[in-house]
Structure formats: structure tokens, C-alpha cells
Amino acid sequence: MATHTLDQLRAIFRTALELDRDAAVDDLEYRGIESWDSVAHMVLVSEIEDTFDIMLETDDVIDMSSFAKTQEILARYEVSFE
Amino acid sequence: MASPTEFDPLEMGSTTDGLALVDEFGEYSFADLRKAVESKSLELVGEKDGVALILFEPTMQAIVFYLAALRSGRTIILADRRSKAEVIGNIIDRYGVTLEFGPGDNVTVHGQDGPTPNPATPQILLPTSGSTGSPKMVRLPHSALRANARSIAAELGIGFNDVAPTTLPLHYSYGLSVLNSHLVAGAALALIDHSVITRQFWDDFDRYGCTSFAGVPYTYSMLARMRFSPTDHPSLRTMTQAGGRLSVELREKFHSAMDEVRGQFIVMYGQTEATARMAVLPHAEFSDRRSSAGRALKGGRFSVLADNCETDTANVEGEIVYYGQNVMLGYAEDQADLHATDSCGGRLLTGDTGQLDTEGYLWLSGRKKRIAKVFGERVDLDDVERLAASITEPVAATSGSDHVVIFFEGEDAQLATTLRTHIASELGVHRTGIEVQTLPALPLLNSGKIDYADLARLAQGAAPPSDKEEHES
């Protein structure tokens, strides 16, 4: 099982959602923040797939509605965080 | 006094009592909708004359207001509900708006000092540039909406049992044409205010039994990115694509995906200046014409303008000209322009270049107009240059595939970042929709004007920063 740091995932969220470098992201939810629109979501998906070298299924792309949910989904792709 | 009704999208549906609108609050039959529209239009007759502005959300109330304004022959401006307050204020002042609908169900009456005579021809005004806040509008007579809605409904074979979800904004010509062409055919709209990348959207899509899906190229790249399959949504019969050029790879992908479920994938070509749509490439006619823009809609025709000479001869390259009842009256920048005469006479210089084949199918090669699409949204490149010029000059903007490319002179990386952030924020788009390139000097023509053809080549050489799919395949 590939292990990464949660900071890597946080950085991906900040880039995709165009947030400040030290913005808190752990509680983020889709629709809870204006910059998380469909374009940002696709950037998020791309970055996650590239960084962790996985291919997300349709159901997972549309279920990735929060930072916490994203971690759950990634666990199913054997991507875990320390 | 308002003018008589020229376009009543409920005409046909009223002969049935089928479903007209469905949303999370319930179902509305054509009879329900007509009743609501009639009572709202009586209210509107009591209001003062003048232009109505709708910040168009996909809600029952907004659609009732829109239909009532149409019915009472008002001139209506449709605008993005996310528009900034100063943009709305500017539109209200310039066009003498007396009634403002939205956001939500709010109706605001604006006091105008003098009388505000209605234009002799009732019009729908649609923005020319998505998010730059430009007040320039396309003037469409109500009769153009009727003509286009009817020919689209006929070409797509939209029937009583069809249900289309609101996948596109309703102030956008293509989104509006989905609404009009369905109602006019007695079909229904499913009001879904969620993006296609959410679970809610697809749950609603299935629950309402949606039969069709309309998307711009960016919508289809998202669907491809999320590995969408029509087999997961058995009610889906027809997918349509318009609003810019979709790559042949994606056209083929969706054509064969719909073919497998015995549905249809239909490519269309249009412009806001022609209400919405001008050409159609039906599913069955796709195989031999994979990159064609299709043939003219019923009631329309194309010709080609080459060397100041207009011809319908095949295989002549030039600017594409379209004739049809759906052509605009012209542009407007303020209230006075609404009273101008019809400057087009049913003939539209599309600004797109290409040629016709012997069977009348259109093959596009390029674009003369200074317009880009950013994630599906139309952006006027001259507006972008004006915004960029406040940061640095000289600067030039051109169109990449689904993003804007800005060129400036120098090597200042910090300036490039500033420019990118500024333009993205002014346009309200994700940063990946803006690419900034530096050049030692902008290429110029002999006339001293910027050589946009050369910049376009440079822009095409660089793949869009957000669209990694193209690199991988």
C-alpha cells in the first residue's frame, strides 16, 4: 500500500481550489466554498490521479465531495496517509 | 403598451396536459404552467413599460417570469445570476431596466424618470461576453426565438415524452434554446441546479427520467474525464453538443457510446447571433463527416463569402454566411440601440471560416471573430486585452482550446503570475483557464497591427494547462 503524507493531499486541494498556501482544508466540502466549482473539481481529480498514479471511477469522481470523503475514496485505491 | 405575443412556447404543450417542468418541489403540467404564466403576465401588464432584466436561475419562478414577460411582449435582458453588482447596475442604467427579477424570487422595480417607450419589435437581449461584464448585447426578436426553437425541436425529433435537464445556464443562448425547444414541442424540463460532476445531478437525472443531455465541449471533456457511460442512465436517448468545436476523438467516443445504447449523439453548430443553433449533424450522418459542423437547420441556409463574392458553390474557402429567421437584429450597447432598425435582414456574417461540400455540409476551418471559450463560456478577447492593459502593455490575447492565451513583451515571470491571477479573477474563472506567455516582441503585420494569426499558431503550440488528457493519449 502506497503511503503519502496528508500534507500532499492538502497541497493538491489548495492548488485546485486556488487557496492560500496555509489555508485550512481538512473540513472543506463541495458547495461549502465558492471556488470549488466544476472546473476546480476536474483540476482536483487530475492532480489526484497524477500524484497518486491512479484512475478514479465515475462514482468516485462524483462522490468526492469533501476532503474527508476524498481520503476515504483514496483508501479504496490503496492510497493511505500517515 | 406592450406588443402582442410573438412567441408562446406553451402553445403546443397546452393541447396536452403533459409534464412541463419538474424540480425538487414537484411537477408542473403545461396546464399548471400556463395558469401561472397567465396570472404573472396580468401582473406585468400593471407594471410600467420598459425592459425586464432576468438573472436567470433554473427555477419554476424564474421560468414563469420569463414566459410571462415573453407573453406580454416585453423586451427582456437575460443575464448571469452570478454577475457582479456593478455589472448589473450598469445594465440597469444603460438599458433603462424597469423590472429586475432575481436572484431568488425578488422583483425589483426601478424608477425611471422619463417615459421608457418599448421598442416596436420586442426583443430578447443576450450578453456577448460571458463574464467580462461588457454591457454589449445581441438583439434577438421574439420571432427569432420561435423560429429557432421550432426548427431545433423538428431536427432533434423532440416529443411529448422527452425530458431535458438544465445542464447549461439559461441566460446562455444554447441553454435558453434547450428550454424553448422543449417547451415548444410539448416536452419537459427538469430543473437541476447541480453540476454534472455531482452525485446529486445524476441522481436527479435518473429520478426524473431525463431523456436528453446538452453540453458544450467542456462538459464533454468533463464527462470523458470522469469516464461517464450512458449505460448507467437507461432513460438517456439523445446527447447534443454545441457551443464550440469538440475534438474529433471526443465526438467519436460519444457517438459510439450512444450508438451502443441505440441512442443518438448530435453535433450542432450555432452562435448567439443566430439565437442559438444554425446547423445539425444528425447521429446517422456522422460516420462520413466526423469533423463537419453539419448542415443548415430546416429554414436556414449557408453560403460562403470569398474575395468579396458570395457563393454557394462547394469547396470554396471563405467566411461562412448564414441566412434564417433566427438571425439577430444587431447589437446593442444601450437603450437607444433597441430602437434601431434590423441591421442584418436575416443574414449573418458568422466570422467563422470554412467551406461547404457538395451535399451542403459545413466544414469549419477557423474563426475571424475575437472570441474565446473558457470552460465553455464565451469571452470577448478585446475585453480581456483591456483588462490586461491595466497591468502591462503591449499585451495581446488570443484563443487556445477552451482557454485564453495572453502574450506580453518581456521575461518578467512575476508579472506573468500577476497577470494570470488578475485576469482569472476579473473573469471569475479558474486560473487554469488563463495561460500567459512572454515574447521578446509581439508579432506585427505590415500595417503595424498585431498579427493574431501568428499568435494563434503560438497559442495552439501550447496545450491548455488544465487539459492533461490530450497529453496522455
DSSP of B280-324, one letter per residue? EE-GGG-TT-TT--BEEPTT-EEEEEETTEEE--TT--EEEEEES
pLDDT tens-place string over residues B381-430:
988 999 999 999 899 999 887 889 999 998 898 999 999 999 998 888 88
* Residue of B195, B201, B431 with shortest CB distance to A18: B431
**Which pLDDT score, from 0 to 100, does residue B151 have?**
97
Say if the Cβ atoms of B199 and A65 lie within 8 Å: yes
Closest residue of chain A to B468, computed from CA coordinates: A46
Number of A–B residue contacts, CB under 8 Å: 55
Q: How far is A40 from chain B (nearest CA, A)?
A: 7
Q: Please give the Cα distance from B368 to B349 (Å, whole number).
A: 10
Are A49 and B471 a contacting pair, CB within 8 Å? no
Residues of B in contact with A46 (CB under 8 A): 225, 466, 468
Q: Domain limits of chain A?
A: 2-81
ipTM above 0.90, yes or no: no
Instruction: Using a pLDDT cut of 90, give the percent of chain B over it.
Output: 74
* Residue of B195, B196, B430 with shortest CB distance to A43: B430
Say if the Cβ atoms of A56 and B226 lie within 8 Å: yes
Report residue B49's pLDDT band, with 50, 70 and 90 as the boundaries: confident
* Residue of B222, B228, B229 with shortest CB distance to A42: B222
* Residue of A37, A43, A58 with shortest CB distance to B227: A58
Q: How far is B430 from chain A (nearest CA, A)?
A: 7
**Which pLDDT score, from 0 to 100, does residue B209 have?**
98
- Helix (H) / strand (E) element for B418: namely helix B413-427
pLDDT tens-place string over residues B337-389:
999 999 999 999 999 999 999 999 999 998 888 888 888 888 889 889 999 99
Say if the Cβ atoms of B199 and A45 lie within 8 Å: no
List b or e across B127-141, with b for residues whose CB sees 16 or more CB atoms inside 10 angstroms: bbbbbbbbbbbbbbb
Q: Which of A17, A60, A62, A69 to mutate to test the interface with B (most CBs of B within 10 A)?
A: A62
Residue B310 bridge partners (DSSP): B305
Q: Please give the Cα distance from A12 to B132 (Å, whole number).
A: 28
* Residue of A35, A38, A57 with shortest CB distance to B227: A57
Report residue B50's pLDDT band, with 50, 70 and 90 as the boundaries: confident
Report residue B471's pLDDT band, with 50, 70 and 90 as the boundaries: very low
**Which pLDDT score, from 0 to 100, does residue B1 have?**
45
Q: Please give the Cα distance from B281 to B299 (Å, whole number).
A: 15
**Which pLDDT score, from 0 to 100, does residue B115 have?**
59
**Which pLDDT score, from 0 to 100, does residue B114 have?**
58
Say if the Cβ atoms of A57 and B433 lie within 8 Å: no
Among B75-79, B409-413, B435-439, which is the least confidently predicted range?
B409-413
Count of residues making up chain A: 82
Say if the Cβ atoms of A18 and B202 lie within 8 Å: no
What backbone torsions phi and psi does residue B362 show, to the nearest 5 degrees? -95, 135
pLDDT tens-place string over residues B251-271:
999 999 999 999 999 999 999
Report residue B112's pLDDT band, with 50, 70 and 90 as the boundaries: low
Specify the DSSP class assigned to residue B102. -
Residues belonging to chain B with any Cβ–Cβ distance to chain A shorter than 8 Å: 195-199, 201-202, 221-222, 225-229, 232, 375, 429-433, 466, 468
pLDDT at A26 over 60: yes
Say if the Cβ atoms of B226 and A39 lie within 8 Å: no
Report residue B465's pLDDT band, with 50, 70 and 90 as the boundaries: very low
Residues of A in contact with B432 (CB under 8 A): 39, 43
**Which pLDDT score, from 0 to 100, does residue B5 have?**
75
**Which pLDDT score, from 0 to 100, does residue B4 have?**
64
Report residue B152's pLDDT band, with 50, 70 and 90 as the boundaries: very high
Residues of B in contact with A56 (CB under 8 A): 226
Q: How far is A2 from chain B (nearest CA, A)?
A: 23
**Which pLDDT score, from 0 to 100, does residue B113 have?**
58
Q: Please give the Cα distance from B45 to B30 (Å, whole number).
A: 22
pLDDT tens-place string over residues B315-338:
999 999 999 999 999 999 999 999
Mean pLDDT of B217-238: 95
Name the average pLDDT for chain B.
91
Q: How far is B302 from chain A (nearest CA, A)?
A: 35
Q: Which of B81, B197, B421, B432 to mutate to test the interface with A (most CBs of A within 10 A)?
A: B197
What backbone torsions phi and psi does residue B242 show, to the nearest 5 degrees? -150, -170
**Which pLDDT score, from 0 to 100, does residue B166 have?**
97
Q: Which domains does chain B have, with CATH numbers?
A: 13-366 (3.40.50.12780), 371-463 (3.30.300.30)
Domain A2-81 belongs to what topology? 1.10.1200
Mean pLDDT of B300-309: 96
